[in-house]
Amino acid sequence: MSLSQSPAPQSEIWHGTTILTVRKGGKVVIGGDGQVSIGQTVIKGNARKVRKLGKGQGAHEVIGGFAGATADAFTLFERLEAKLEQYPGQLTRACVELAKDWRTDRYLRRLEAMMIVADREVSLVLTGTGDVLEPESGVMAIGSGGNYALAAARALADSEHDAETIVRRSLAIAADICVYTNHNVTIETLGS
């Protein structure tokens, strides 16, 4: 790189993660790998990108996973938790309100992350462009290995496997293909 060239933007050098959700048999599962990379270097292999959100109990439990810049994702998780306190038991409404803020707030617009969140009723993907999307057929993935995990999960969706097994197998397939995804998996489950 010559001195006159500027370095690549953060979004081009930070890579990593695969987050997948599957809703099947009365359960919703979100899983993600633990790799964080900068360029061609693995910085951390056991990051926890999937977690329970807020103080919800029972029917109001919410789980989520993120892809993108870690600090940005934590900011978004905190904002979503505040929206969930404002709209208890209304995940869709909380997500729509967050997406409005994310799209219009000058600070939030610069955040580089995506999220998958779910409660017992609905699974949603949130993006910085204001999207709040419900997955088709209960399966959705984000991140660098998201397309690989999504394809594997769709292929396994009609099998006898339960949601957690589908998530684990699909993330393993993504980790075998995507260099920014590893086999260190975190899983969160809701439902009976």
CA distance 126 to 142: 10
By annotation, the residues acting in catalysis are 17
What are the CA-CA distances from residue 102 to residues 51, 118, 147, 179 (Å)? 21, 19, 24, 30
How many whole angstroms from its chain centre is CA 47?
Answer: 13
CA distance 96 to 74: 18
The answer to whether 116 touches 131, Cβ cutoff 8 Å, is no
Give the residue from 179, 166, 162 showing the smallest Cα distance to 17.
179
CA distance 70 to 91: 22
Question: Please, which residues bridge with residue 51 across strands?
Answer: 64
